[in-house]
Structure 1
Amino acid sequence: MFNEQTVTENGMIDRLKGLSGVKWTYCHGENLPKQAQDIFVDEWLKDALCSLNPDIAKQPDYADEVIYKLRGVVLEARHTGLVKANENFHEWLMAEKTLPFGENGDHITINLIDFDNIDNNHFVVSQQVHYIAATEVYFDIVLYVNGIPLVVGEVKTATRPSVTWQDGAADFMGGKKHYWKNVEPFFVPNLLCFSSEGKTFAYGAINAQVKDWGPWHHTEQREEVLPGLASVLNSCEGLLNPQTLLQLLEAFALFSTVKTGKNTPPKRTKILPRYPQFEAAKQIVERVKKGYPRKGLIWHFQGSGKSLLMLYAARMLRTDNTLKNPTVLVVVDRKDLDTQINETFGGADVKNLIKVQSCKKLGQYIEQDSRGILITTVFKFRDLEIDDSNSKGLNDRDNIIVLVDEAHRTQEGSLGDKMRWALPNAFFFGLTGTPVSGLERNTFKLFGAEDDPGRYMNRYNYKQSIRDGATNPVKFEPRLAELRVDRAAIDEEFERLVRENNLDEEEKAALSKRAGKLAVMLKAPKRMAAISNDIAEHFISHVKPKGMKGMVVVYDRDACVQMYYLLAGKLGKDAVEVVMNVDQAPIKVTDGNKKDKVNKDWRKWKNELELHIEQADFERWQLIDGDAHKQKDLIEGYKDPSQPLQLLIVTAKLLTGFDAPICYCMYLDKPLRDHTLLQAMCRTNRLYEHNGQQKEMGLIIDYLGVFENLRTALAYNPDEIEGVVEGIEAFKELLPLQLQKCLDFFPGVDRSLEGLDGVLAAQECLPDNKKRDEFAAAFGVLAKLWTAINPDQFLTPFRVDYRWLAQIYESVRPVGQTGALVWAALGPETIKMIHEHTDINRIRDDIDELVMDENAIFTLTDKEQAQRARRLEVDLMGRLRGHDDPRFVALGERLEKLREEYEAGVIKAIDWLKGLLDVAKDSVKVERETGDHPVTEEDNVQALTKLFLETRPSSTPIVIQNVVEQIDKIVKATRFDGWQTSNSGPREIQRALVVTLVQFGLGKDKELFDKAYAYVEEHY
């Protein structure tokens, strides 16, 4: 007969008994030398206390006193809660407690476990362990170390397909057994719990949610791990061998304070590593102790816990006495990542933690040989100056270890060079989810050691992460339709501009990139309105019902503002917020309280944007961008399901390093490429559980088709991309077939029959466990498909049948079932995303913000400036002579004063030119008012060129003529009647002028721009 004890339980015990090296000895629960009410095996614990503590060995009665105090810690759980009691007991296990057992009452450290020589410990595996507290239980497997129960396992039958490891885990978390509540004292000393049904294996810390349990494999296992007893026994041996257990206890069991909501008190939790974190952290420490190679690349999928990995590695490095008090430098490349890392380390109460606040402080810490864990952004190396004559840098100590998060982004340039110069003998370990392997930027070259196969030290890929439940799969829904970006439409619009303005080939070439830029279509008001309508409708119907939240990623800051007002009008201002980089300018204070309403930064933005922007909104966004506490408060509100904030609108911020598990859906309306694409997508892949509801996967709503060339954009092996994204259309195709497969179990049953009679009729079609298990497996797949699609109108015709099947499933499923066929609903691993007429490479070229800087840049010398000003002055003097109007006289006097100041060397040529532009603007105004010099339509179109040609000296350089003609050409192509009073007109003219000034080396002279624009505004 096959049951849970004969197959799984005995199999696991046999494997542990047969381990090579340090073994587990076996003792059946009924033979343990303890009473049912006892937690410890006192006899074994007392022996260990005497053997590990010489002072106690001299006075064995002291051992009884220690055991008495340990029982006191257990009793504290009823008042402090299980996690806090477990943390207090952990301090005893880690020899952090002392008692006055030495000579003359001196305090001595109390050792419960020997971590240095594990042979000195007593390891026992037991089964069917009887324990009585609030209720009476029999634990399937208990692992004792020196008489202390460190591990408890629950085992279920291996022969019923509808039963999973989650059923065993449920015994700890809830249901009738609810071990962590009903027999809480037994788990005060606990290190970990595990569960298995003979096919799969998972472990978790006390009070862990389902999402926090995980499997135990090896990162070398790239392919699917086939479920079965062999896999379970391998996991059992890998995790539960004495060496691994004691390493987990000594270096990896963490207690961290986690904020669960904006207005809820922090929660203390216990954290255990997943196996990739365990492996990689150990490899870092081993490599540092070995001394070679002095670098390593850790390539772990986005969302699989690199922050915790660095925390584990840093703690282990700091506590290893052989490394002689090392310095660990944790380097990130963004402020939001800096905040996240600081919260991870700070929440875990890491000792000797230093948060570097400035470039100056960083240099001081390094030069002053600070020991501990320093957390900084790579940009704080900016002010360091490399001194090639100094080979020692700022600190040449060889026990400095640098852990670089997101290693691909900032390490190729001067910042990476400065860091390596400052720390010439340091170890450098790069951690990334998206390495770059291009010619110009190559993560493998920077961090990958030549000795490492594939040039990575540890690898944990997409398929492994999703397979293990460390991250959720991400599906995408292309919603292109009429919103699709079509190059033909852009080209047609460009040709219309050419025809209507009679542009020659040179003019056509000058405008081609501008007319072809993606932003022209992406930010068109009608398109933005249509996108916002779709987002609001989808969010209300698909995301909000799940109790989760979303992000909107748009083209640029202009689009952020447009989208904010559009969505705020539909969802309410409390539901949406913008997080973006804002040019920082201090807000002036006039009386200590009242802000000066003349905020230059705000006025600049208001002039640049095509729509209305409220000053209060701008100032709020400026504060959020510039104040880390404000941004943290905003993000905490977003993460809190009870808070009204539902959607974050971003363009660059929060696309990397932003960890908000509540984020389910990303509305993507920005072309992304390379590693940024995968990083942004993975904001939605975090595990999340709220009110018993699990997030099954993340969702990307793709308005641009940016996923269509995903493999090319990321330049990865196609095999590594498989399983990252799943298409919703594939789920819709599968669901009707799976629904019918379930209905086929009940031929001839009247599904309209309600109540008990209807249930009994259906159950007659499932006469035995075999048939019920087959139905449970089929319905498990259907349920996963349904969850992935729901809520969606597509499901409407299937709802009645689905509800009926769900009712029947509930009536036959095993009691305590909390999950079934975890992987059955993942769907196809490879989704080919090819949509007609869209190419990510083309989009990437079109949105290059540097395109306007690719033209040749001329430098206007002082001599050329003077010549340009002289030409303008001659023309103005000719126009002003002969007028008696006092306004003309005054303008003439201004001109004469300007010329005298220039000739006397009081002002430079560029200042002379600025003054002349002012006079020119005022001259046109006076001429219009007096009618002395009417401005014709020809003047409007070619006025500047005409003025130049009439007055230029023969020696004027050709570059001056180019400046003048270019202004006329661009203005002619962009101006239209009433442009001065329109929303977009001034902005277009300003941009045209900026392009011209930049092209000729004058782009940074703001005063010249202002005066030139004022003249253009008055004249045209």
Structure 2
Amino acid sequence: MRDFVLFDGGVKKVPRVHQYFGIKEAQARVRQKQGGIIWHTQGSGKSIVMVLLAKWILEANSNARVAIVTDRDELDKQIEGVFTDAGETIHRTGSGRELLRQLGQATPRLLCSLVHKFGKKGEKGKRLSDAQFKQFITELGNQPCQTVGVLFVFVDECHRTESGRLNEVMKAVMRDAVFIGFTGTPLLKEDQKKSVEVFGSYIHTYKFSEAVEDDVVLDLVYEARDIDQALGSQERIDAWFDAKTKGLNDWQRDELKNKWGTMQSVLSSKGRMGRVVDDIVFDFSVKPRLSSERGNAILVASSIYEACKYFTLFRETPLRGKCAVVTSYNPQTQDVTLEETGANTRTDKQFIYDTYTELLKDVVAEPGMSKTETYEEVAKQRFMEEPAQMKLLIVVDKLLTGFDAPSCTYLYIDKSMRDHGLFQAICRTNRLDGEDKDFGYIVDYKDLFKRLINEKGTGALQVYSSELDNSAGGTDPKVLMQDRLKKGKERLDTAAEMLALLCEPVALPKGELEHIHYFCGNTEVPTDLKAREPQRVMLYKATAGFVRAYANIADELAPAGYSDADVSRLKGHLDHYLKVREVVRKASGEFLDLKPFEADMRHLIDKYIEASGPRKISPFDGVGLLDLIATTGAADAIDAQLGDIKGNGEAVAETIENNVRRKIIKEELTDPAYYAKMSALLDEIIAARKAKAIEYEEYLKQIAELAKLVRAGHGAETPAALDTPGKRALFSNLGQNETLALQLDGAVRAARQDAWRGVQAREQAVKAALYGVLKDVAEVERVFLIIKAQAEY
């Protein structure tokens, strides 16, 4: 418990299984002062492992020091943020010299630095030759760092081949340190030798396939798009549009056509980059996660010039103001002062400079930051926290490692990449982010995967084209990207099967009333509605999953392997289960309770499922059935919200009864006596209806009157002086003694303190005030529960 509980920014966290065993193995190595490599795949929580291991080292050994070294400024900032959020003070050094100076002192005990601060360049910044580098290492070895304490060095992303030399520098400078390497990327055989030489053997591994199987990260699905061929002619453009909009109904397709104009004139006149832009913008119109504005995307460009070009093109689309460019460029006047200019032309450097100057003109630099850094920090923050306001980031190299944004769902690649770089880039998309995110999507504009090995019979592609290091043992280290259509069909079939199994116990003929009985229970049994809540939650989630699975491949059902008959059957199932869900949610009074389960459900239904044209939104949308009955009467409420089952009197009656019952259950603690009376009245009305003792019209009249009483929370006989719910609750639960109710109300208001609930001493003060009036301990405990349930106190 001591070593494995972490408070991260106030949130209590405990490690997953792989993190726990990774730390235990690392502890064993540390006790023996031996290093090694922890290989935990991207997105599985390496930072938490670092924090827990560093905390343990510093607590277990009072002479220990921990230095964390990364090779990217982004990672350095991220590590600093993680440790700070965990309550650990970490000193971030600005140079290798500063780090060595700090290590020569007793404090600070926890530091972080960038690996390239240790490097040395040749003349004019050129890379040193092998001979020069060996001489450099020899010089460092003759002057090792005089470290105070026992030093443990964590090296993040230790796999990088370009960091190999710098790792050697660190080992030469900090000769007695214990080095522990962290990586989220499978090592290639060419890297393995260097990594083992520097860090030692594997301490613990947790590979990509294990993380996907454990639902720690999402699976990756890919799609190759050939823009030049797909959008080069009238016929291809029309076919492209038809394929993209197959899941939409006719009026929606017409709307898009009107918005886009004729596809031929828009796309055939543009160059390749313009077509890529339109392709991505179109995805933001039709792809569920993108169009619902809960997800966003990253576009990887091949150069800073192309990134700027893409940015200017996107500024002419609906994504204007909701996209940003993040590169290593920072505009300097000297960038363009020596450029030759023509009458009507700009060089690439001038174009980049002008683009950045324009986008930074209204940016006010934060203290200690340039305007570019300020702009990028704001863009990244909005991308992570406000995906609807920052939909697309255009990058070249930055943000492709160490940048975690769960909202990122699509990665568009228009740059040649391979191996480590490719794997780290695509893993930006597979972080968990709510139930509406099923996969990380990779869209490949560069045919990157054509040269990769096709796994026979799996429909998957290996991300790595080079040989992987298998020396760690255990699970195969290869990383597969799934075929989008095959995986989509698999998910859709599973979702349909899940719903069918869930509804299988419903009694024949499986109509509205039978579904209400199964998911809501018997209205005569007050506890049934609450007891059936788990079944209803499963129905809502399963239906949402079915709709999302359908929407993901709605425009490509035939290529996915569905026949016309299959498509018709799927649409029929969708229509059926959506109606069942609506009947059940209304029958249970849970109209407002579904937001946690389906944030973008309404959007998906409107875009992919409904076949009718735009409909007028009811003025009562979002109003609960009970409130509607109390406001407009039973008949109007039924017309407004229960029109789809209006012809089934039994189903309507049970829907209303369940809504009244839900309100009683929800409020009974606030006024037990009153709501017990309301529950008894409801039981009487239900019994009379089922015994056919009253006509349907009379039943509706009685149930409407009861609904008004339940909603009001008090009867007409309540004295006017009892003008708050709390006073009225005391009145009805104290034998309708008005004087006693007002006396207790005054005593509680005088004795209560701010935020008294849940604080024993403050609750005792309220109980003492109650006892001063009631003089009975048992009565105090009974009334205290009513007081505690009333929000006004």
> CA distance change for structure 1 residues 743 and 365 in 2, over 3 Å: closer, same or farther?
closer
Structure 2 contact 463–479 (Cα < 8 Å) conserved = no
* Post-superposition offset of 1:701: 1.6
Determine the C-alpha separation between the residues in 1 that align with 2:488 and 2:26.
45
Shift, 1:677, TM fit: 1.1
- 1:552/1:668 contact within 8 Å kept: yes
Q: How does 1:522-533 map to 2 (within 5 A)?
A: 526-533=271-278
Q: Tell me which of 315, 319, 336 is aligned to 2:59.
A: 319
Alignment of 1:864-875 (within 5 A): none
- Percent identity reads 24
User: Are 1:607 and 2:347 an aligned pair?
Assistant: yes
1:467 to 213, 216, 241: 213
Q: Give 2:171's aligned residue.
A: 420
Aligned partner of 1:375: which letter?
C
1:147-197 deviations in Å (ceiling 9; x for gaps): xxxxxxxxxxxxxxxxxxxxxxxxxxxxxxxxxxxxxxxxxxxxxxxxxxx
TM-score, with length taken from structure 2: 0.54
Shift of residue 427 of structure 1?
0.5
Question: Match for residue 989 of structure 1?
Answer: none
Q: Tell me how far 1:740 sits from its aligned partner.
A: 7.1
What secondary structure does 2:298 align onto? strand
Q: Name the aligned partner's letter for residue 449 of structure 2.
A: F
Letter in structure 1 aligned against 2:81: E
Residue 184 (structure 2) aligns with: 433
| 2:19 matches 1:281 | no
Q: Partner amino acid for 2:36?
A: G
- CA distance in 2 between counterparts of 1:602 and 1:408 reads 43
Secondary structure, aligned partner of 2:404: coil
> What is the Cα deviation at residue 362 of structure 1?
2.1
Who is 2:551 aligned against? 790
Contact 1:429/1:447, CA 8 A, preserved across alignment: no
1:402 and 2:143 are equivalent in the alignment? no
- Offset of 1:334 from its aligned partner? 0.3
* 1:947 paired residue number: none
Contact 1:408–1:436 (8 Å) recurs in 2: yes
CA contact (8 A) 1:532 1:563 kept: yes
**In the alignment, is the contact (CA less than 8 A) between 2:498 and 2:542 conserved in 1?**
no
1:977 equivalent in structure 2:
none
Which protein shows a greater Rg? 1
Q: Secondary structure at the match of 1:529?
A: helix
Name the CA shift for 1:727/1:531 in 2 (closer, same or farther; >3 Å): same
The aligned amino acid for 1:632 is E
| 1:332 CA displacement | 0.6
Query: How far is the alpha carbon of 1:662 from its aligned partner?
Result: 1.4
Q: What one-letter code is carried by the residue in structure 2 that aligns with 1:633?
A: V
In structure 2, the partner of 1:684 is 429
Q: 1:758 to 1:277 in 2, by over 3 A?
A: closer
Shift of 1:441: 6.5
How far is the alpha carbon of 1:327 from its aligned partner? Answer: 1.4
Task: Tell me how far 1:432 sits from its aligned partner.
Answer: 0.4
Partner of 1:868: none
- Residues 132-151 of structure 1: matches in 2 within 5 Å? none
- For 1:654, give the aligned amino acid: L
Alpha-carbon distance, 1:457 to partner: 0.9
Once the two structures are superposed, the pairs formed by residues 530-609 of structure 1 within 5 Å of their partners are 530-542=275-287, 543-545=290-292, 547-582=294-329, 585=332, 587=333, 606-608=346-348
Asked if the contact 1:332/1:404 (under 8 Å) is kept, the reply is yes
Q: 1:716 aligns with which of 456, 468, 474?
A: 468
Taking a change above 3 Å as real, the CA distance of residues 432 and 622 of structure 1, as seen in their structure-2 partners, is farther
Give the Å deviation of 1:417. 1.8
C-alpha offsets along residues 885-923 of structure 1, whole Å, 9 cap, x if unaligned? xxxxxxxxxxxxxxxxxxxxxxxxxxxxxxxxxxxxxxx
Residue 441 of structure 2 corresponds to residue 699 of structure 1: yes
Does residue 100 of structure 2 align to residue 363 of structure 1? Answer: yes
Deviation, 1:274, is: 1.7
Matches for 1:551-950 after TM superposition, within 5 Å: 551-582=298-329, 585=332, 587=333, 606-608=346-348, 613-614=354-355, 616-617=357-358, 628-641=373-386, 644-689=389-434, 694-708=436-450, 709=452, 710-716=462-468, 720=476, 724-734=480-490, 756=513, 784=545, 786-788=547-549, 790-791=551-552, 793-794=554-555, 798-808=570-580
Matched residue SS, 2:394: strand
The residue that corresponds to 2:203 in the other structure is 457
Report what 1:254 is aligned to.
6
* Matching of residues 89-128 of structure 1 within 5 Å: none
Deviation at 1:401, TM superposition (A): 0.4
Tell whether 2:69 aligns with 1:308.
Answer: no
Is residue 484–residue 704 contact of structure 1 (8 Å, CA) maintained in 2? Answer: no
Asked if the contact 1:301–1:461 (Cα under 8 Å) also holds between the matched residues in 2, the reply is yes
> Is the Cα contact below 8 Å between 2:463 and 2:480 reproduced in 1?
no
Structure 1 gaps, min length 5: 1-247, 258-267, 450-454, 487-523, 589-596, 765-771, 821-1020
Count of equivalent residues: 495
Larger RCO (CA within 8 A; separation ≥ 6): 2
Q: Provide the rounded CA distance (Å) in 2 between the counterparts of 1:717 and 1:738.
A: 35
Deviation at 1:399, TM superposition (A): 1.3
2: CA distance between counterparts of 1:722 and 1:752? 50
Deviation at 1:788, TM superposition (A): 4.4
- CA distance in structure 2 between the partners assigned to 1:724 and 1:622 by the alignment: 44
Contact 1:408 1:442 in 2 (8 A): no
Match of 2:37, SS state, is strand
1:467 & 1:652 partners in 2: Cα distance? 29
Tell me how far apart the structure 2 counterparts of residues 307 and 762 of structure 1 sit (CA, whole Å): 44
When normalised by structure 1's length, the TM-score is 0.43
How far, CA to CA, are the matches of 1:462 and 1:426 in structure 2?
30
Shift in CA distance, 791/622, structure 1 to aligned 2, threshold 3 Å: farther
Tell me if structure 2 keeps the 8 A contact 1:550–1:664.
yes
Partner Cα separation in structure 1 for residue 307 and residue 448 of structure 2 = 19
Distance 1:468 1:739, change over 3 A: closer
Counterpart of 2:82, as a letter, is T
User: Cα deviation per residue 1:189-212 (whole Å; 9 max; x = unaligned)?
Assistant: xxxxxxxxxxxxxxxxxxxxxxxx
Amino acid across the alignment from 1:787: R
For residues 568 and 752 of structure 1, the distance between their equivalents in structure 2, rounded to whole angstroms, comes to: 56
Q: Report if the CA contact (8 A) 1:579-1:650 is conserved.
A: yes
Unaligned runs of 5+ in 2: 122-135, 233-268, 453-461, 522-532, 558-566, 598-793
Structure 2 counterparts to residues 213-232 of structure 1, below 5 A: none
- The offset of 1:310, in angstroms, is 0.8
SS at match of 1:395: coil
Cα contact 1:330–1:376 (8 A) shared by 2: yes
The one-letter amino acid of 2:304's match is: R
